[in-house]
Amino acid sequence: MNTLYYGDCLTIMREKMQPESVDLVYLDPPFNSKRDYNSIYKDHTGRPLPDQVEAYTDTWFLDNERMRAIKALPALLREHGVDGHSADFLAHFISGLTQVQPDMAAYLGYMTERLLWIKWTMKPTASIYLHCDPTASHYLKIVMDVVFGRKNFMNEVIWHYGKWTNAARHFQKNHDVLLAYAFRFGKHCFNKLHKQEESYHYEKGWHTNTIAGGISQLIVYDKVKATKKIESGIYDKIVYREGKTKAALPDVWDIPILNPMAKERLDYATQKPLALLNPIIRASSNEGDVVFDPFCGCATTIEAAEKLKRRWIGCDITIHAIRRVARRRLTERLHLQEGKDYRIDGVPKNWEGAQALWRQDPYQFQKWCVELVEGFVNVKKTADDGIDGRVYFDMPGEKVFQSMALEVKGGRTVGPSDVGYLNSVLQYENIQMAGLITLHAPGAQQARNFQRKMALAGDVAIGDRLYPRMQMLTVAEILAGAKFDMPSPAGRSGTGYERDLFTPAPGA
Ligand SMILES: C[S@@+](CC[C@H](N)C(=O)[O-])C[C@H]1O[C@@H](n2cnc3c(N)ncnc32)[C@H](O)[C@@H]1O
Over 50: is that where the pLDDT of 125 sits? yes
Question: Taking the complete model, does pTM exceed 0.85, yes or no?
Answer: no
Atom of ligand 1 at shortest range from CA of 315: 21
Q: How far is the CA of 494 from the centre of ligand 1 (A)?
A: 30
Q: How far is the CA of 391 from the centre of ligand 1 (A)?
A: 26
Mean pLDDT of 13-34: 90
Atom of ligand 1 at shortest range from CA of 56: 25
Closest by alpha carbon to 159, among 142, 135, 179? Answer: 179
Atom of ligand 1 at shortest range from CA of 26: 6
Q: Whose CA is nearest to atom 17 of ligand 1?
A: 317
Q: What percentage of the chain reaches a pLDDT higher than 70?
A: 79
Report the distance separating Cα 86 and Cα 128, nearest Å. Answer: 20
Q: How far is the CA of 287 from the centre of ligand 1 (A)?
A: 25
Over 70: is that where the pLDDT of 178 sits? yes
Q: How far is the CA of 301 from the centre of ligand 1 (A)?
A: 12
Residues 336/342, Cβ–Cβ less than 8 Å: yes
Q: How far is the CA of 299 from the centre of ligand 1 (A)?
A: 10
- What pLDDT sits at residue 318? 81
- What pLDDT sits at residue 237? 43
- Of 344-348, 416-420, 436-440, give the lowest mean pLDDT range: 416-420
Q: Whose CA is nearest to atom 3 of ligand 1?
A: 297
- Mutate which of 8, 26, 56, 360 for ligand 1? The one with the most ligand atoms within 8 Å of its CB, which is 56
- Mutate which of 270, 313, 330, 361 for ligand 1? The one with the most ligand atoms within 8 Å of its CB, which is 270
Angstrom distances, CA of residue 272 to CA of 3, 181, 275:
20, 20, 8
Secondary element (H or E) of residue 181: strand 175-182
Which runs of E-coded beta strand occur in 133-174? Answer: 153-160
What letter does residue 216 receive in the DSSP assignment? Answer: G
Q: Which residues line ligand 1 (CB under 6 A)?
A: 8-9, 28-30, 56, 268, 270-272, 294-295, 297-298, 300, 315-318, 321
Q: Whose CA is nearest to atom 27 of ligand 1?
A: 297
Atom of ligand 1 at shortest range from CA of 300: 8
Mean pLDDT of 378-399: 72
Q: Whose CA is nearest to atom 16 of ligand 1?
A: 317
Q: How far is the CA of 320 from the centre of ligand 1 (A)?
A: 11
What's the chain's average pLDDT? Answer: 81
Over 50: is that where the pLDDT of 313 sits? yes
Over 90: is that where the pLDDT of 117 sits? yes
- What pLDDT sits at residue 265? 87
Report the distance separating Cα 179 and Cα 158, nearest Å. Answer: 9
Over 80: is that where the pLDDT of 229 sits? no
Highest average pLDDT, of 121-130, 197-206, 339-348, 358-367, comes from 121-130
Report the distance separating Cα 241 and Cα 222, nearest Å. Answer: 7
Residues 56/295, Cβ–Cβ less than 8 Å: no
- What pLDDT sits at residue 205? 34
Q: How far is the CA of 57 from the centre of ligand 1 (A)?
A: 10
**Angle CA 452–375–297, to nearest 5:** 145
Over 80: is that where the pLDDT of 375 sits? yes
Q: How far is the CA of 86 from the centre of ligand 1 (A)?
A: 28
Residues 255/215, Cβ–Cβ less than 8 Å: no
Q: Whose CA is nearest to atom 22 of ligand 1?
A: 316
Q: What residues pair up with 54 in beta bridges, in sequence order?
A: 38
Atom of ligand 1 at shortest range from CA of 114: 19
Mean pLDDT of 223-236: 40
Report the distance separating Cα 243 and Cα 93, nearest Å. Answer: 47
The interaxial angle of helices 64-71 and 84-100, nearest 10 deg, is 150
Which runs of E-coded beta strand occur in 261-372? Answer: 290-293, 311-316, 342-345
Report the distance separating Cα 21 and Cα 11, nearest Å. Answer: 16
Mean pLDDT of 182-207: 71
- What pLDDT sits at residue 204? 38
- What pLDDT sits at residue 426? 85
Q: What residues pair up with 128 in beta bridges, in sequence order?
A: 25, 181
Q: What percentage of the chain reaches a pLDDT higher than 90?
A: 50
- What pLDDT sits at residue 225? 45
Mean pLDDT of 257-265: 84
Query: Could you tell me which residue, 63 or 111, shows the higher pLDDT?
Result: 111
- What pLDDT sits at residue 34? 57
Domains of the chain: 2-42+56-165+173-193+249-345 (3.40.50.150), 351-502 (3.40.1350)
Mean pLDDT of 471-479: 93
Closest by alpha carbon to 25, among 295, 253, 306? Answer: 295
Q: How far is the CA of 294 from the centre of ligand 1 (A)?
A: 8
Atom of ligand 1 at shortest range from CA of 110: 19
**HEC assignment per residue over 116-129:** HHHHHHEEEEEEEE
- What pLDDT sits at residue 57? 58
Q: Can you say how many angstroms the Cα of residue 185 is from the centroid of all Cα atoms in its chain?
A: 31
Question: What band does 492 get if pLDDT is binned at 50, 70 and 90?
Answer: very low
Atom of ligand 1 at shortest range from CA of 58: 15
Angstrom distances, CA of residue 440 to CA of 240, 355, 382, 391, 472:
56, 9, 21, 22, 12
- What pLDDT sits at residue 215? 36
Angstrom distances, CA of residue 23 to CA of 29, 160, 291, 296:
19, 26, 6, 16
Report the distance separating Cα 351 and Cα 220, nearest Å. Answer: 47
Query: Could you tell me which residue, 407 or 502, shows the higher pLDDT?
Result: 407
Atom of ligand 1 at shortest range from CA of 8: 20
Over 90: is that where the pLDDT of 200 sits? no
Task: Tell me the three state secondary structure of residue 459.
Answer: strand
Q: Whose CA is nearest to atom 19 of ligand 1?
A: 8
Residues 46/64, Cβ–Cβ less than 8 Å: no
Atom of ligand 1 at shortest range from CA of 298: 9
Task: Tell me the three state secondary structure of residue 382.
Answer: coil
